[in-house]
Every structure is written in C-alpha cells, then in structure tokens.
Chains A and B, each alone.
Chain A
Amino acid sequence: MESNKNFVVGIFDDEDILLHAVENIREKGLKIHEVYSPFPVHGLDDALGYKRSRLPIAAFMFGATGTSLALLMQIWMLGYDWPMIIGGKNHASLPPFIPVTFELTVLLAAFGMVGTFFIASDMKPYKWPRQFDLRSTDDKHVMAVDLAANKMSKDEISTLLKSSGASEVNEKNF
C-alpha cells in the first residue's frame, strides 16, 4: 500500500441520496476513488461509470473447458485406452457420457469463475482491506475521494460532498 495518501471521506445514510450524490459529484468533475456499501446498491456501478464485469465470459470459458475435458476423458478412457463392451453398446457412445459432461461443465464454470472473482478483486484470507470507515459494513455508504487525483482543494471537496447529501465528511490518511 502506498504511504501518505490523503482521502476525503463522505458518509451517506441512504442509498437514494448516495446515487444522486454520485451523479452530481461526477458532473462537477470530481473523481471518486470508490464507494463502499453494506449491501449492493443497484445502479451504483453505472453511476460511477464502471464497465460491466467480464466474469460471465470467464465462466463461459471455464465451462467450455469442462465440457471438452469431460468428453475427451470419457471417449479416450472407454473408447481407446481400454475399450469394453457394456450392454452391447458402442465403446464410445455419446448419450451415457452426457451426465458426467454436464456435471464437469458446471463444476469448472463455478469454480473457475469464483477463482477469477477472487483474483480480479484481489481478495485473500490474509489481506486486510483499506478501511475508510468501519460503518461501511454496517449501515453507512462511504465515499472516498483521493486528494492527489483531484485538482479541487480539500475544503471545496468537503463542501461539495456536504451539499450533495453527505451526513458527515471526514479525512483519512493511509
């Protein structure tokens, strides 16, 4: 973590006020570092201008890998490596391979996507997140503005946050 980063932190009590505040603040040209909420606020990612997550694509790729691996494994094992006649059917007949193929598709898609989520969000059991305000997991929405990334002064930012509906404005240094 970089040292000596100064943030102005706005505390919001209500998700609707927060959403309007984000739009208002971004219109005024202030760059928001991040907003921390106790629960998902719908429309907040759009208001902050975040692009849609590409995790669905990752899930699809992992799922497709699962499908191919499962089919290849079963066809190779029962069709080529040790062919056996079971119930007079072909060595490598497709229909009985579908259940296992489906399960492995789901398994790889789910685990691959969740693993990607942890990597993309940089989440690890031994890592403590940067906490601007401990109430952000309780009942407050916390907006952090990086002073170094903005041209406005500390006081101007505080006034803007207050006028947008923040119930409190604090400072936080890391």
Chain B
Amino acid sequence: MQVTSSIREPLITGGKTVRDVSEDISRQVEGKPTQLWWIAMGISLVLFTFGFYCICTLLWEGVGVWGLNKTIGWAWDITNFVWWVGIGHAGTLISAILLLFRQKWRMSINRAAEAMTIFAVICAATFPFAHMGRLWLGFYWVFPLPNTWGSLWANFNSPLLWDVFAISTYFSVSLVFWYMGLIPDFAVIRDRAVRQGHKMRANIYNALSFGWDGAARTWSRYESVALILAGLSTPLVLSVHTIVSMDFATSVVPGWHATIFPPYFVAGAIFSGFAMVLTLLIITRKVFKLEDYITIYHIELMNIVIIITGSIVGIAYITEFFIAWYGQVPAEQYAFFNRMQGPYWWAYASMMTCNVISPQLFWFKKIRTNIVATFVLSIIVNIGMWFERFVIIATSLHRDYLPSSWSMFHPTIYDMGEYIFTFGLFFSAFLLFAKFFPVINMAEVKSIIKSSSEKKH
C-alpha cells in the first residue's frame, strides 16, 4: 500500500475520514437548496428565458435577425460554438488524460469538470441547431438518413459533417463516462436514504445507480471500464477540436487556411476549459464548503496547466504570424497585418493581452495560490479565448477579396440573446447538477484518504 510522501502536499485536508467524505458530499444532495442557490437559479432562468425568446424569434423570422451580411456569413454563432466546445475539453482532459497519467489530484475535481463538459457541449450544439433554420429537418442534413431527395446522402468529405459526428460522439461518450463515475456515488446516497427512512429518495437513487452493489467483482469490471473509457476519450477529445479547427483549416480563406490549427485549437480548448473549471469550482467550493477537498494545491496545479497551455497558444499566435510573413503570400500577409492594424485591432489586442500576457502572471506562486487572483484571471482567460475565435473568424472574413465587399459585423440583440441563452442554460444545468448529484467523486476520494490526506494530530 502507498505511504504518504512527505514531499507531496496532501490532496485532502482537514483530517477527513472515509466516513466524513460520505457525510460532507451527500449532505448537500439531501438538504434543501440554500437561498444563494435559489438566487443563482433565478438569475440563470431569467437569462434562459430572454435567450429563449431570441431563439424563437430567430426560428420564426430566420437567420436575417442576426447581424450577418454577405461578407461575414459566420460570426457570433460559430464563435460561441467553438468557445463552448473548447470549454468542454478540460473536463475530459481531467477525467481521462489525468487518469491515464495516474494523477490523483483529478479525483476531487473530475465530477464537476465532466458535468461542465456535458453542459458546455449542449450549449455549443444550440448554435448550429439554431443556424439551420428549419431544425426539424436538420437530422436529414447532418445524419446519413434515407430521405425524400432520392438517396442523396450527406457529404462525408465535408468537415462540417465530421464535426457533427465528432461532437455527437464526444457528447455521448462523455455523458457515459460521467454517468459511470456517478453510479457508485448514487448508491451511497441510496443507502443513506434507506437508513434515514426516505423511501422515495432511496428508490430514485437506486434506479439512478442501476442497483449498484459494490462487490469486488463489480469493482474489478468497473475499473477496467473506466480505464478503457479513459483510453477511448483521450484520442476522442483531441479529435474533437482537431475536427472543429478543420471547419476553418480545410477552407481557402486567408487566416483560416493553416495546418497549425489542430494542435493550436486543442491547446486553446484546454486552456479555456481549465479557466472555466476554475471559475466554477472556486464558486462551488465556497458555496458547498468544500475547501478541504478542492484545496489551494488543486487550484495551483490547474493554474500550472493554464500556464503551459496558455504558452502553447502564445507560441501558436507567433508562429502564425511568422509563417504569414515567411510564406510570402500577399493575401495571407494582409490577413494577419489586418488583424493587428485593421479596424478590429481592439479584438486582436484583447486576445493578446488576455491569452498571452495574463496567464504568465501565474509564474508567481503568490498569484497562482491566490483565490481572488485566480478567479479574476480565469474569467480574463475566457474573455480572451472568446476574442481569439472572433478574431480568427470575423477578421478573416471582413476584408473580402474585393474591396467593394469589405464590411464590418454588428451584432444584433438576437446575436447577443442566443449567447445569453447558453449562459442561462449552462448555469441552470450546473446548479441542478450541484443540487441533486454529488459534486465530488466520493468513491475515488475515499480511495486516497489513507495515502493522501492530512492526518489528525
């Protein structure tokens, strides 16, 4: 058995016992929602309702209600889509890649991060759905189903179709991975409900846990399922943003047509995802009093991932510029010059400040172990990553080949409304999750209590 190393900081503080883990995590599922929860839920639902109105208008009137024009045919919708998909990547990285690398610090944060992945992918999916206009026909356009146009099939040469397959596979496999992790924890709540005499709760959580028994044989199978799901999810998560980047990279638009896109997008996705995990978990640990489970050490490690991925993103920006100059293609050179000096310079400057400069502050231990600084920087990083996508998408399009078709993009209330809708959806889904599901993986945390918790003195 493992012995606590004196070099490593304990992952669980406060001298918790195995029993305390069940107690601390199950308590918020069993209790009534707090006033703070209701307030947050109320705000989320207001955002959701306003956004829903905007989506209904969009579906009724058509895509014309957005601020798109002939030159800029893709703007906020695809920016938001890529932004949300990117955010989702951190959850899979934490639960799958860190599992393969046997990183134990993932255990306190993987549940919430995976939940974030699932909700973020749902939010992302609303944009292509809304953009399809007649979304009830969308299934015929995106899936190879027999249809009324003879048997004209979907075009498998199109990166947009690859995207459909990548995102839907990513969503469903992440959902299964997340749910598998929840099963033993639902059984904890079930058995507590039996002991407390809550019949209905016991039955609901038993159904949710699929009648989990915790037998050694089941655990042994369960562990091999978890390992293989991690092994499958790892290339899957890398493929998803690779394919998202191919939506642009396979085109011939200067500024999009770059082979550096797949690794650059994946690094950016993990960068923004970790920022969102931090934003959410800093609030969650405070509201649910989980400071002993999600410690400063966890936050510091996530900040280190942000330094690494943020630096990769920075290098990618510089490489793009260098290649644009070195490649000597005038259109390509102009596209990048225009990003920096053109009418969208402010978007470019925001992107550079938020993504390249701000994460470098985490080199200072004082900053990366400070909760307020981390919270602020995590939001700045996500603003920066939104601007990155906007810069790539809108500024590459707005200077078309003919100066007569040059244009600017002005978002309408409906562009903003749909973005607001996804925030309402995301936060209300996360709040529901945090109330009804255990926010920390109890079984995994219990397994490290002996080897990596602060002992009672």
- Footprint of B on A, CB under 8 Å? 14-16, 34-41, 44-45, 48, 50, 52-53, 55-56, 59, 63, 73-74, 77-78, 81-82, 84, 86-87, 89, 93, 96-97, 99-100, 102-104, 106-107, 109-111, 113-114, 117-118, 120-121, 123-131, 134-139
Expressed in whole angstroms, the Cα–Cα distance for A14 and B211 within the complex equals: 25
Asked whether B216 lies within 8 Å of A74 as measured between CB atoms, the reply is no
When the two chains form their complex, are residues B210 and A118 in contact, meaning their CB atoms are under 8 A apart?
A: yes
User: Are A34 and B217 in touch, CB under 8 angstroms?
Assistant: yes
The digit string for B413-426, where 1 denotes a CB below 8 A from any CB of A, is 00000000000000
Give the contacting residue for B219; candidates A37, A78, A129; CB below 8 A. A37
A114 lies within 8 A of B176 (CB): yes
CB distance from A94 to the nearest CB of B (A): 11
Which residues 158-198 in B have Cβ within 8 Å of A in the complex? 159, 161-162, 165-166, 169, 172-173, 176-177, 180, 184, 187-188, 190-192, 194-195
* Interface pair A100/B222, CB less than 8 Å apart: no
Contacts of A74 in B (CB 8 A): 156
A96 — which chain B residues lie within 8 A by C-beta?
156-157
Q: Mark B380-411, 1 if CB is under 8 A from A, else 0.
A: 00000000000000000000000000000000
A–B Cβ pairs within 8 angstroms, 12 of them: A34-B217, A38-B188, A39-B444, A48-B216, A73-B144, A100-B156, A104-B165, A110-B172, A114-B180, A128-B211, A137-B22, A138-B22
Beyond A82-B153, A96-B157, whether A36 also contacts B213 by CB under 8 A is yes
Q: How far is the CA of A39 from the CA of B235 in the complex (A)?
A: 28
The distance in angstroms between the C-alpha atoms of A35 and B173, with both chains bound, is 30
The count of residues in chain B whose C-beta lies closer than 8 Å to any C-beta of chain A is 66
B206 CB-CB contact with A under 8 Å: yes
A135 to B194, CA, bound (A): 11
Which residues of B (203-260) have their CB < 8 Å from a CB of A?
206-208, 210-225, 228-229, 232-233, 235-236, 239, 243, 246
A127 B211 Cβ-Cβ under 8 A = yes
- C-alpha gap A93/B157 in the complex (Å): 9
A124 contacts across to B, CB distance below 8 A: 210-211
Closest to A133 in B: B191
Q: How many A-B residue pairs have CB under 8 A?
A: 195
CA distance A58 to B217 in the complex (A): 17
Q: What are the residues of chain B within 8 A of A126 when measuring CB–CB?
A: 207, 211
Which of A14, A53, A123 has a CB less than 8 Å from the CB of B212?
Answer: A123
Residue of A nearest to B177 (CB): A110
* CB–CB A35/B216 < 8 A: yes
Q: B155's closest neighbor in chain A, by CB? A: A86
Question: Is B1 close to A, CB under 8 A?
Answer: yes
Which residues from B are CB-within-8-Å of A135? Answer: 191
Interchain CB contact under 8 A, B239 and A102: yes
Closest to B180 in A: A114
The docked-state distance in angstroms from the alpha carbon of A139 to that of B229 is: 27
Partner-A contacts on B (CB < 8 A): 1, 17-19, 22, 144, 150-153, 155-157, 159, 161-162, 165-166, 169, 172-173, 176-177, 180, 184, 187-188, 190-192, 194-195, 206-208, 210-225, 228-229, 232-233, 235-236, 239, 243, 246, 442-444, 446-447, 450
Residues of A within 8 A of B444 (CB): 39
Is B17 in contact with A139, judged by CB distance below 8 angstroms?
yes
With a 10 A CB-CB cut-off, give which of B176, B184, B213 has the most chain A CB atoms: B213
Q: Are A111 and B217 touching (Cβ within 8 A)?
A: no
> Distance in Å from the Cβ of A64 to the closest Cβ of chain B?
13
A96 to B243, CA, bound (A): 11
Question: Is the Cβ of A40 less than 8 Å from the Cβ of B169?
Answer: no
**A96 to B172 Cα, complex, angstroms:** 23
User: Contacts of A34 on B, CB cut-off 8 Å?
Assistant: 215-217
Are the C-beta atoms of B210 and A41 separated by less than 8 Å?
Answer: no
Name the CB-closest residue of A to B173. A110
Q: In the assembled complex, which residues on chain A have CB atoms less than 8 Å from the CB atom of B166?
A: 99, 103
Cβ contact of B222, chosen from A14, A40, A44, cutoff 8 A: A40
From B172, B217, B223, contact of A107 by CB (8 A)? B172
Q: Which residues of B contact A77 (CB under 8 A)?
A: 144, 151, 153, 156
Chain B minimum-CB-distance residue to A123: B210
Residue of A nearest to B447 (CB): A39
Contacts A38-B446, A107-B172 known; 5 new A-B pairs at CB < 8 A = A109-B228, A110-B176, A114-B225, A120-B221, A125-B210
Least CB distance, B441 to chain A, in whole angstroms:
10
Pairwise interchain contact B152-A82, C-beta atoms closer than 8 A: yes
Most chain A CB within 10 A, of B215, B236, B443, B444, is at B215
Query: By the criterion CB–CB under 8 Å, are B22 and A139 in contact?
Result: yes
Cα A121 to Cα B217 with chains together (Å): 8
When C-beta atoms are compared, the residue in chain A nearest to B20 turns out to be A139
Q: Inside 8 A of B229's CB, which chain A residues have their CB? A: 110, 113-114
Could you say which residues of chain B place their CB within 8 Å of the CB of A99?
159, 162, 165-166, 239, 243, 246
Complex alpha-carbon distance, A3 and B191, angstroms: 23
Contacts of A55 in B (CB 8 A): 221, 224-225, 228
Q: How far is the CA of A41 from the CA of B447 in the complex (A)?
A: 7
CB of A113 within 8 A of CB of B208, answer: no
How distant is the Cα of A40 from the Cα of B221 in the complex, in angstroms?
10
When distances are taken between beta carbons in the complex, the residues of chain A under 8 Å from B446 are 38-39, 139
